[in-house]
Amino acid sequence: MKVLVVDDDDDVRTITKLSLTNVGGLAVVEARNGPEGLDLAQREHPDLILLDVMMPEMDGPQTLQALRQHASTADIPIVFLTAKALQSEIDRLRQFDVCGVLSKPFDPLTLAARLREVMSDVRPAQIPSGASAPNPLSP
């Protein structure tokens, strides 16, 4: 499974990549911001996108909207990643067209398993080619 991580924080991207590749055995592509994430999503065709909510230039919801407008990226499952762990904020984010919401900081040892769980719950019509089968993630 290939995961696109879109986050403006270098440390978060590094920890996420190490977690997903070394612990989870997943392929990871990284983007530093929304526009870069859009470009990489169109070129790399990831099975899942882990998308930071708060980023300069183009935030997570704006990036999500742009991804949904392109035929090649419209059906890619997306999980929001947020530093705002309040239940009201998580509930608000779940109203978007996403498979789940993860709070920062996350457990690097369980991140890959949590993302696989999301993919196993994606309805077959939503599964990108080459992916396995959203259960909203809890913080």
Q: Please write the tens of the pLDDT for every residue from 36-62.
A: 999 999 999 999 999 999 999 899 999
Q: Please write the tens of the pLDDT for every residue from 10-21.
A: 999 999 999 999
113 versus 135: which is more confidently predicted? 113
Domain ranges of the chain: 2-126
C-alpha–C-alpha distance, residues 119 and 103, integer Å: 18
Residue entry with tokens 């067209």: 97
Q: What are the CA-CA distances from residue 22 to residues 79, 81, 91 (Å)? A: 20, 20, 31
List, in sequence order, every residue forming a beta bridge with 5; answer none if it has no partner.
30, 50
Its CATH class, for the domain covering 2-126, is alpha beta
Q: Give every strand in the sheet of 48-52, ordered side by side.
A: 27-31, 2-6, 48-52, 78-82, 100-103
Whole-prediction pTM = 0.83
Q: Please write the tens of the pLDDT for every residue from 64-110.
A: 999 999 999 999 999 999 887 767 677 777 778 788 888 888 999 99
